Amino acid sequence: MQHRIKDQFRGIPDEFMTSPLSATAKDLVPIDTQVQFANSRDQIRNLFESIYKLKNIVDNVTKRSAENSIDMLHFAKELNQLSGDSQPASAWAMGTNDAWPTIKGGLKTIAVEFAALSDKHGQQASRCDNSVGERLALFLDMLQTYKDLCERHEKGVLRDHQMALQKMANIKKKKMSATLKGGDQQQVGVVEQLESRITEQASQIMTMENRNLFSLHCLQMETQLIHANIPMISDTMQAYAETERQGYSEILQVWQDIVPKALSLSKNNENDCRSPSTSPLSSPTSLNS
């Protein structure tokens, strides 16, 4: 996306050339701007690293909720499979313990609840992604854009300004050297040429200095924009807390509905579970024979 934007706006004059503030950039930039910018840049870089990690954690939580939804759905399908067993259990197989038909009938009801659990986990994953993940992603994009802006300033405008100053210093050294060598016509011509280059370079340096100051002013505005959006962190925490509270409350309610149905499976067969099981092989008839 960034490359497509660059291609679309390639060749269009930048903000320094079109903004009326560029001419007065020097008056807009406080004296300690460079120091303040360096401090803010490091602070926002640390902020980016933490938000990036938080975003990854939320993505993992969302992924686990989605996986829980899939697992609960598979659990429900297996319970339905068990409850739909059409193979009759004979007295030979069950002996005096006839719990299976009763349990099998109850599993179908519980399977419905596990399907509901699957829906709740799926809703939880969706809420977490939309309410929390999207907020963090938006703030992360803003921080990334700020980082890119800082890099463009340091690698572009600031570097060009420093290179221009270095070039000016080299030209002045050459002029001084030519002046010291004598006053013949050839040396006079060299000095005049160097003076012309110095004048031209000084004009370029002034433009670059104004561009650098204007860039620092823009960076200050962008830094303030980041701080204006920092409350997104508290909004995200509130959304995360509410999302988790709602999700686990709904999931808890389904589990509370499952508990009595699961208990009813054993209560219906409580007497059978307490009585000793007797297999045909250990019955008195088989022993006497």
Alpha-carbon distances of 95 from 29, 82, 107, rounded to whole Å: 92, 20, 22
The answer to whether residue 281 scores a pLDDT higher than 50 is: no
Q: pLDDT-based confidence at 115, cuts 50/70/90?
A: very high
Question: In the prediction, which pLDDT does 203 show?
Answer: 57
Question: In the prediction, which pLDDT does 171 show?
Answer: 52
Question: In the prediction, which pLDDT does 152 show?
Answer: 81
Question: In the prediction, which pLDDT does 148 show?
Answer: 87
Helix H or strand E encompassing 198: helix 185-228
Q: What is the mean pLDDT of residues 45-74?
A: 96
Question: In the prediction, which pLDDT does 157 show?
Answer: 54
| CA dist., res. 225 & res. 232, Å (int) | 12
The answer to whether residue 286 scores a pLDDT higher than 50 is: no
User: Which among 80, 75, 124 has a CA at the least distance from the CA of 105?
Assistant: 80
Question: In the prediction, which pLDDT does 251 show?
Answer: 96
The answer to whether residue 125 scores a pLDDT higher than 90 is: yes
Question: In the prediction, which pLDDT does 268 show?
Answer: 56
Give the pLDDT confidence of 20-41 residue by residue, as tens digits: 565 666 777 788 888 888 899 9
Q: pLDDT-based confidence at 123, cuts 50/70/90?
A: very high
| CA dist., res. 55 & res. 137, Å (int) | 7
Give the pLDDT confidence of 186-209 residue by residue, as tens digits: 544 554 555 555 555 555 556 667
Radius of gyration of the chain (CA): 38
